[in-house]
């Protein structure tokens, strides 16, 4: 499927959010997906994943997660300096700012004439942000890929954003994907997340734990990438979004 790719500036209360929008070419209407990046922002690696998702029949909006300060407009390298900068961007961004940006991008997607429904997804810190996007009643389905900080609440500048405590606010369908060898979300953290979700009444969800998968196994750069697991996870996400 041929794609169309545009860069837009989404207005938020205190900034503009650089956002890449990727959709199938033509005049059809498609479900919209808010896709959150990892700490490295709008890298070509993440955009390749967004293009694969768009080719399955979605309007995919990929915003910068750090639209304020020195990291606005910057795609970070997958090296120590890039990791340090990305983590610095996280610690300088509050949960309130992440939430405000989420509303802005969802409002943008909802206002597009070519969007029929709203979904959310994300990777690493973006998986945590996607989980919080599920609090919005407009989001019909959410897929969180190896969300970090969800078990203990750590998000950006906040030691505890209270995300799991708000799990009962999720009204749409939920799917969470982990790698079994992820040191950021080990087995005990995964059990904690699942227990909290069940306790909140979210017992009709999908959980995928891929054997041997490391953290960021879907990032197609570096030794942790697992192409086979990536294909499986993306296929499951597309099937989930389409309601199987």
pLDDT tens digit sequence for 131-172? 999 999 999 999 999 999 999 999 999 999 999 999 999 999
Rounded to 10°, the helix 227-241/44-55 angle is 50
Report the candidate in 89, 92, 102 with the shortest Cα–Cα distance to residue 128: 102
Residue pLDDT, tens place only, 88-124: 999 999 999 999 999 999 999 999 999 999 999 999 9
CATH number at residue 82: 3.40.50.1820
- Identify the domain containing residue 215 by its residue range: 3-241
Instruction: Read off the pLDDT of each residue in 13-42 and give the average, rounded to a whole number.
Output: 97
Percent of the chain residues topping a pLDDT of 70: 100
What pLDDT is stored for residue 1 in this prediction? 87
Torsion of CA 138, 48, 125, 89, to 10 degrees: -110
Rounded to 10°, the helix 125-133/95-110 angle is 60
Q: Please give the Cα distance from 199 to 134 (Å, whole number).
A: 17
Encode 83-98 in three state secondary structure. Answer: HHHHHHHHHCCCHHHH
The pTM for the full model equals 0.98
What pLDDT is stored for residue 104 in this prediction? 98
Q: Please give the Cα distance from 50 to 68 (Å, whole number).
A: 23
- What is the band of 244 on the pLDDT scale with cuts at 50, 70, 90? confident
Q: Please give the Cα distance from 19 to 150 (Å, whole number).
A: 25
Instruction: Read off the pLDDT of each residue in 227-241 and give the average, rounded to a whole number.
Output: 98
Indicate the burial class of 80 (C-beta count within 10 angstroms; 0-12, 13-18, 19 or more). Answer: exposed
Helix, strand, or coil (residue 236): helix
Alpha helices in 79-226 (DSSP H): 80-91, 95-110, 125-133, 187-199
Both structure tokens of 15: 């900034």
Residue pLDDT, tens place only, 183-218: 999 999 999 999 999 999 999 999 999 999 999 999
Instruction: Read off the pLDDT of each residue in 37-49 and give the average, rounded to a whole number.
Output: 98
Both structure tokens of 206: 């999908």
Q: Please give the Cα distance from 219 to 226 (Å, whole number).
A: 8
* Statement: residue 86 has pLDDT above 80: yes
What pLDDT is stored for residue 231 in this prediction? 98
Work out how many domains the chain is built from and give that number: 1
Taking all residues of the chain, what is their mean pLDDT, rounded to a whole number?
A: 97
Kindly give the pairing relationship between strand 139-145 and strand 3-12.
Answer: unpaired
* Statement: residue 182 has pLDDT above 90: yes
Q: Please give the Cα distance from 109 to 51 (Å, whole number).
A: 17
Report the candidate in 59, 49, 48 with the shortest Cα–Cα distance to residue 24: 59
Q: Are 133 and 168 in contact (CB under 8 A)?
A: no
What pLDDT is stored for residue 224 in this prediction? 96
């Amino acid at each position: 499927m041929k794609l169309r790719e545009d860069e837009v500036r989404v207005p938020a209360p205190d900034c503009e959010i650089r956002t890449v929008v990727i959709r199938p070419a033509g005049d059809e209407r498609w479900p919209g997906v808010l896709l959150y990046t990892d700490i490295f922002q709008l890298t070509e690696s993440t955009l390749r994943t967004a293009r694969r998702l768009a080719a399955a029949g979605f309007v995919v909006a990929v915003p910068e997660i750090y639209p304020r300060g020195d990291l606005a407009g910057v795609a970070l390298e997958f090296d120590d300096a890039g990791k340090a900068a990305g983590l610095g961007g996280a610690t300088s961004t509050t949960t309130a700012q992440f939430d405000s940006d989420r509303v802005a991008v969802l409002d943008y997607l909802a206002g597009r004439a070519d969007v029929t429904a709203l979904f959310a997804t994300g990777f690493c810190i973006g998986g945590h942000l996607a989980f919080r996007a599920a609090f919005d009643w407009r989001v019909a389905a959410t897929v969180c890929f190896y969300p970090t900080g969800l078990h203990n609440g750590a998000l950006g500048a906040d030691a505890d954003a209270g995300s799991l405590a708000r799990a009962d606010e999720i009204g749409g369908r939920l799917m969470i994907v982990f790698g079994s060898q992820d040191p950021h979300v080990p087995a005990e953290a995964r059990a904690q997340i699942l227990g909290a979700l069940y306790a909140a009444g979210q017992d009709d969800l999908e959980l995928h734990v891929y054997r041997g998968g490391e953290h960021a196994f879907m990032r197609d750069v570096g030794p942790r990438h697992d192409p086979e697991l990536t294909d499986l996870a993306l296929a499951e996400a597309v099937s989930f979004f389409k309601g199987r």
